[in-house]
């Protein structure tokens, strides 16, 4: 049988970054194996599920470059692909389990269930269901309640045996006997429980491989029980690493982890976000950190999933974004950057040559398109002087004071809007010769006087892009 994988989110919110990673891994695995990627909507939580979230999640997946082969908008032979449209299927299988003596109706009240839990805690045992309605002596009463129209939940009879998952990432995982008690598969309101409908769907949709987060590992034991009861073959499982912060704690919004929609609004590049997510639990065989997802192909192998938790580092993500930004073709990079520059900005009144040179000069110092204008204003258009401790030290040198006076005199006679590259080289050579300077006093002193900063791009590339009046303002501030 060909490989079939699935991504099955609940439409109760926007696509979270962890869900996006799960979708990505399934998509890449299907692509590498020549298989089928199924998108299924787990919308049995009727109160919280919303159509707008389903639409949003699909839009975010497409923005990331992830598309599915089967799903609500691409129906195949195993639909429908929304669980809310499959409730009759779950009811049919639940009743079959009841008829086979593998499940039973339960009419315990919430108060009774809470009392069971409290007793178990006092006695130091797992808070399992005590099995009142499991006993045959209550079957007649249960039948009478059903005949009278009373609603009851359906519980699965958990076998008293251990279960084993040979996980592709975790290895052999043993779930001991009595790890779980009898559990609900259909609520009293008629809605199915996750572990039940998930198995039914995976079984009927012929899912062969399940890639999901490690937090779902404990769900496996209940799902294996249901597969066994229904005579189905479980898929292979790969439970990928948890996402944690630098303090090795559970991620929160404080760590910059939020919905994909938010990253899109903050102008992250989809290729950068998807690149970074891929590395959170998987490693490239060539040890690459920067790559395009479309170039992975057969290189995506489940054997390269990591067991250890993946640290989500927002600064690393920003770095990856900057790397992808700088790799864009020049015309596309320029077009994107200009979307984030104020329409009345000095930039738009300059020649294309000046614009291209400014972008080429500053692109290595930005991680987002929106960073360009602030960097431009700071490095090229600010007549003020950055009075840092280091800069003040340079300004205190006698050699720097000589450079200030030299440049003030040389520039006074120039009326052009900019100093040409050739003119700057001429002035710099003259300064070096006449003041007999070299090394740090020459290069650092000249940089501070012309740019107002103690570090930055090569002066020969930077100075010709700074308006001459700005340079003169800086030098006057230093005089």
Looking at residue 389, which CATH number applies to its domain?
1.10.10.350
Task: Write out pLDDT tens, residues 220-238.
Answer: 999 999 999 999 999 999 9
323 and 334 within one domain: no
**336 and 473 both lie in a single domain:** yes
Long-range contacts of 368-375 (CB under 8 A, 24+ apart): 368/266, 368/267, 368/268, 368/318, 368/321, 368/322, 368/325, 369/267, 369/325, 369/336, 369/337, 369/339, 369/340, 370/267, 370/340, 372/337, 372/340, 372/341, 373/340, 373/341, 373/342, 373/345, 373/347
Please give the Cα distance from 77 to 301 (Å, whole number): 28
Last residue of a domain, one of 327, 343, 360: 327
Mark whether 375 and 468 lie in a shared domain.
Answer: yes
* 465 is a domain residue: yes
The total of structural domains in the chain comes to 2
- pLDDT band of residue 351 (cuts 50, 70, 90) is very high
Q: Are residues 361 and 445 in the same domain?
A: yes
pLDDT of res. 108: 86
The string of pLDDT tens digits covering residues 50-103 is: 999 999 999 999 999 999 999 999 999 999 999 999 999 999 999 999 999 999
Residue 202 belongs to a domain: no
Phi, psi for 17 (deg, rounded to 5)? -60, -35
Please say if the pLDDT value at position 120 is more than 80. Answer: no
Domain-located, residue 316: yes
Instruction: Answer yes or no: is 134 within a domain.
Output: no
Euclidean distance between CA atoms 130 and 127, whole angstroms:
9
Residue 190 is assigned to a structural domain of this protein: no
For β-strands 153-156 and 183-186, DSSP reports them as antiparallel
Domain match, 378 and 421 both: yes
Give the confidence band of 254 by pLDDT, cuts at 50, 70, 90.
Answer: confident
Average pLDDT for the chain: 92
Look at the block and give the residue holding tokens 């501070």.
448
pLDDT score for 178: 85
Q: Which residue has the higher pLDDT, 226 or 123?
A: 226
Any domain includes 183:
no
Q: Among residues 312, 327, 342, which one ends one of the domains?
A: 327
Kindly name the residue from 51, 96, 157, 253 that is annotated as catalytic.
253
189 touches 151 (CB < 8 A): yes
Q: Is 253 a catalytic residue?
A: yes
Return the pLDDT at 1. Answer: 62
pLDDT interval class at 437 (50, 70, 90):
confident
Whether residue 281 is contained in a domain is answered as yes
Alpha carbons 394 and 401: distance in angstroms, whole number: 9
Rounded Cα distance between 270 and 264, Å, is 8
Residue 258: give its domain's CATH number.
3.40.50.620
Mean pLDDT score, 35-50: 93
pLDDT the model gives residue 58:
96
* pLDDT tens profile 375-405: 999 888 887 766 778 878 888 899 989 998 9
- Does any domain span residue 278? yes
Best mean pLDDT range from 183-192, 202-211, 407-416: 202-211
The answer on 315 and 380 residing in a single domain is no
How large is the average pLDDT for residues 327-342?
Answer: 96
315 lies in which domain range?
Answer: 1-72+241-327
- Same-domain check for residues 312 and 350: no
- Token couple for 269: 């590049």
pLDDT for 379? 86
Distance (Å, whole) CA 83 – CA 193: 11
Same-domain status, 338 and 406: yes
Element containing residue 37 per DSSP (H, E): strand 36-39
Which pair of tokens denotes residue 284?
């490239």
Pull the structure tokens for residue 51: 């159509």
Which has more pLDDT, 479 or 308? 308
The conformation of residue 86, written as its DSSP 8-state character, comes to -
Whether residue 246 sits in one domain with residue 384: no
Phi, psi of 38 (to 5 degrees): -105, 135
More confident residue, 435 or 173: 173
Question: Do residues 321 and 386 share a domain?
Answer: no
Q: pLDDT at residue 31 above 80? A: yes
DSSP string across 188-209: TTSPBPHHHHHHHHHHHTT--E
Mean pLDDT in residue range 158-179: 94
Q: Which residue, 299, 327, 355, sits at the end of a domain?
A: 327
Q: Do residue 349 and residue 424 come from a single domain?
A: yes
- Judge whether residue 40 has pLDDT over 90: yes
Average pLDDT over residues 298-309: 91
What whole-number distance in Å separates Cα of residue 444 and Cα of residue 436? 15
Q: What percentage of the chain reaches a pLDDT higher than 70? A: 99
Whether 266 and 402 map to the same domain: the answer is no
């Amino acid at each position: 049988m060909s490989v079939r994988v699935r991504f099955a989110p609940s439409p109760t919110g926007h696509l979270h970054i962890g869900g996006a990673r799960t979708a990505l891994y399934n998509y890449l695995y299907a692509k590498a194996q020549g298989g089928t990627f199924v998108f299924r909507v787990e919308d049995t939580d009727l109160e919280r599920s919303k159509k707008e979230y389903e639409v949003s999640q699909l839009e975010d997946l497409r923005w990331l470059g992830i598309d599915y082969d089967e799903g609500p908008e691409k129906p195949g032979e195993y639909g429908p692909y929304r669980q809310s449209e499959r409730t009759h299927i779950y009811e049919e299988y639940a009743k079959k389990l009841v008829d086979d003596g593998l499940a039973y109706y339960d009419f315990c009240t919430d108060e009774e269930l809470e009392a069971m839990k409290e007793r178990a805690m006092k006695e130091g045992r797992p808070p399992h269901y005590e099995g009142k309605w499991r006993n045959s002596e209550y079957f007649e009463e249960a039948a009478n309640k059903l005949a009278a129209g009373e609603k009851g939940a359906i519980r699965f009879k958990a076998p008293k045996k251990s279960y084993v998952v040979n996980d592709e990432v975790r290895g052999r995982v043993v779930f001991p006997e009595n790890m779980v008690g009898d559990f609900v598969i259909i609520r009293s309101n008629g809605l199915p429980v996750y572990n039940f409908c998930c198995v039914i769907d995976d079984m009927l949709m012929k899912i062969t491989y399940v890639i999901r987060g490690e937090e779902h590992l404990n769900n496996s034991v209940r799902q294996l029980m249901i597969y066994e009861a229904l005579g189905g073959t479980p898929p292979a499982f790969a439970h990928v690493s948890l996402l944690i912060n630098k303090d090795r704690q559970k991620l929160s919004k404080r760590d910059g982890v939020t919905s994909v929609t938010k990253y899109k609004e903050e102008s992250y590049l989809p290729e950068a976000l998807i690149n970074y997510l891929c590395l959170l639990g998987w490693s490239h065989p060539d040890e690459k950190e920067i790559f395009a997802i479309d170039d992975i192909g057969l290189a995506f192998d489940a054997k390269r999933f990591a067991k250890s938790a993946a640290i989500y580092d927002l600064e690393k993500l920003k770095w990856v974004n900057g790397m992808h930004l700088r790799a864009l073709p020049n015309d596309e990079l320029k077009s994107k950057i200009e979307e984030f520059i104020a329409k009345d900005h000095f930039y738009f009144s300059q020649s294309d040559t000046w614009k291209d040179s400014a972008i080429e000069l500053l692109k290595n110092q930005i991680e987002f398109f929106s960073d360009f204008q602030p960097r431009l204003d700071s490095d090229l258009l600010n007549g003020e002087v950055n009075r840092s401790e280091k800069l003040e030290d340079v300004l205190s040198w006698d050699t720097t004071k000589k450079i200030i006076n030299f440049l003030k005199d040389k520039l006074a006679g120039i009326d052009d809007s900019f100093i040409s590259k050739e003119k700057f080289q001429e002035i710099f050579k003259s300064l070096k010769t006449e003041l007999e300077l070299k090394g740090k006093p020459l290069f650092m002193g000249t940089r501070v006087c012309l740019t107002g900063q103690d570090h930055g791009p090569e002066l020969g590339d930077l100075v010709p892009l700074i308006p001459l009046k700005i340079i003169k303002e800086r030098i006057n501030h230093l005089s």
